[in-house]
Chain A
Amino acid sequence: MSALTVAEKSDIIEKMCRYITHGHLQGICLESIDGEELTLRLPYRDELVGNPDTGAIHGGALTVLLDQALGIAAICCDRVGPVLTPTLDLRIDHLGTAPAGSDIFATARVYRVTRRVLFIAGFAYCESRDKPIARATGSWVLMPELDLTGLLEPAHGEGPS
């Protein structure tokens, strides 16, 4: 599998962000691509609040964003190609609190690929990536027999559906 260009990755990520119904409704979108690292953005909304007394974002909203960022990193990994990669496990360390009113970013990178398993890590931040509010690590199962290329064909117009 040859490395994907930034434009190709951008295309895959944007299609996946539209394909994943819940993420799309949350407004989760591509923020940037830097080599093998991708960053998604979750726009702030009042309904993401988990602690009504402080206005802090719900930990579960971070779980949604991080699960999606790490999962999409699996799909557009240079060493894998667009195949189905179900999540095996996900661990999140909550290092801080997302303040009320802030958009949240999640950065993810595949750091190890074996024949059957992808090991992926990422983090979430608000103002600066040097001040992460959460760290995530997880394993994804590689299922090369379940090719997603059909879902990502441009012929589908508005993306995979």
Chain B
Amino acid sequence: MSLSDIIRHGPDAATLQLWLKKVPYAVYLDIRAEQHGDEILFILPADDKLIGNPTLPALHGGVVGAFMEQAAVFHLMARMSEPVIPRVIDFSLDYLRPTRLRDTYASCTLTRQGRQIANVSISAWQERSDTPNAIARAHFLIPEPD
């Protein structure tokens, strides 16, 4: 079954896992998702292969961005009445503090969803959700459903 087929079913914790398993890059990064009420929590488990600065050690800044982008994509899909795979238009990332080699979390806010364009804000943290390591926002193009 393709990702397009799977996402036709509304998301719960199990379908989010199923979505993630269909994206090779999300599998490679080992991104997880948990549903807490209406909120979706995305998790990037600590792994040596994600290190950018071995001296600190800290995660590769690009990996933190990739994790946040994937979180935004699935958060947006989970909020669609008829889920389709959105295409990223642009991604803007602010690094606030080094992301150490430990589990990283992300949550998203769908700031605006139009018919064709969506704006998603993403926050990634390690210690506490109110002290993010990085924040980002992304615009997505929502393709017309087939």
Nearest-CB residue, chain B, relative to A135: B90
| B63 pairs with A64, CB closer than 8 A | yes
| B69 pairs with A88, CB closer than 8 A | no
Residue B46 is within 8 A (CB to CB) of chain A in the complex: no
Residue B128 is within 8 A (CB to CB) of chain A in the complex: no
CA distance A52 to B5 in the complex (A): 12
* A48 CB → nearest B CB, Å: 6
| A25 pairs with B70, CB closer than 8 A | no
Write out the residue numbers on chain B whose beta carbons fall within 8 Å of the beta carbon of A53: 2-4, 85
Write out the residue numbers on chain A whose beta carbons fall within 8 Å of the beta carbon of B26: 58
Residue A161 is within 8 A (CB to CB) of chain B in the complex: yes
Please report which residues of chain B, range 96-128, place their CB below 8 angstroms from some CB of chain A when the two chains form the complex: 98
The number of inter-chain residue pairs (CB within 8 angstroms) is: 126
Write out the residue numbers on chain A whose beta carbons fall within 8 Å of the beta carbon of B69: 58-60, 63
| A52 pairs with B66, CB closer than 8 A | no
| A47 pairs with B60, CB closer than 8 A | no
Contact of B60 among A51, A64, A90, A91 (CB under 8 A): A64
Residue A19 is within 8 A (CB to CB) of chain B in the complex: yes
Question: What count of chain B residues pass the 8 Å CB interface test?
Answer: 40
* A32 CB → nearest B CB, Å: 21
Nearest-CB residue, chain B, relative to A47: B28
CA distance A23 to B103 in the complex (A): 19
Write out the residue numbers on chain B whose beta carbons fall within 8 Å of the beta carbon of A122: none
Contact of B23 among A20, A58, A63 (CB under 8 A): A58
Write out the residue numbers on chain A whose beta carbons fall within 8 Å of the beta carbon of B59: 22
| A61 pairs with B23, CB closer than 8 A | no
* A113 CB → nearest B CB, Å: 19
Please report which residues of chain A, range 23-69, place their CB below 8 angstroms from some CB of chain B when the two chains form the complex: 23, 25, 46-53, 58-61, 63-68
Please report which residues of chain A, range 118-160, place their CB below 8 angstroms from some CB of chain B when the two chains form the complex: 151
Some 28 contacts from A to B, beta carbons below 8 A apart, are: A20-B51, A21-B48, A21-B51, A22-B51, A22-B52, A22-B59, A22-B60, A47-B28, A48-B25, A49-B24, A50-B70, A58-B23, A59-B66, A60-B25, A60-B62, A63-B91, A67-B60, A87-B95, A88-B94, A89-B92, A89-B94, A90-B92, A90-B93, A91-B92, A92-B91, A92-B93, A94-B88, A94-B89
Per CB-CB distance, the 9 closest pairs between chain A and chain B, nearest first, are A60-B66, A64-B62, A67-B62, A58-B25, A21-B51, A22-B60, A63-B65, A47-B28, A49-B24
The interface of chain A, by Cβ under 8 A from chain B, is: 19-23, 25, 46-53, 58-61, 63-68, 71, 86-94, 97, 151, 161
